[in-house]
Amino acid sequence: MHRTLLAIGALSMALGVALGAASAHATHGAAHPDAAHLLSAAVTYHLVHGLALVIEGAMARGSASRWLLAAYALHATGIVLFCGGLWLLAMSGTSLGPVVPTGGVAFIAGWIALAVHAWRLPA
């Protein structure tokens, strides 16, 4: 399972880099007046949490606790909801209500789950 998690994390990083490159050009036809700022935030959070997925995937080789898997799932969910929601808002002007904040909460919960996993590791 750790190979799948690691591969998904690596593909998320590749997507984050591609979206970062695309965001430099995407703001020209964007619907939202703060599109450049929104896309910059989306790409930054995507890359930070994509790296978290890679690290969590590597960690799963040694001890894939339910807390580590929860952290992984929450970070992946945050990328989709938070980053995807910002892209949607920037490019179309459409807000999906609580989707972006829910993604932010998923990011925070993922870091808390990772901390619990770390505390529960054998000494």
pTM above 0.85, yes or no: yes
In this structure, how many other beta carbons lie within 10 angstroms of the beta carbon of residue 120? Answer: 12
pLDDT at 70: 97
Contact predicate 28/75, CB 8 Å? no
CA 39 vs. chain centroid, Å, equals 13
User: For each of the chain's 123 residues, which pLDDT tens digit applies?
Assistant: 789 999 999 999 999 999 999 988 888 878 898 999 999 999 999 999 999 999 999 999 987 899 999 999 999 999 999 999 999 999 999 999 999 999 999 999 999 999 999 999 887
What is the rounded CA–CA span in Å between residue 99 and residue 54? 24
pLDDT at 108: 98
Please report, for the chain, the start and end positions of each structural domain, with discontinuous segments joined by +: 2-120
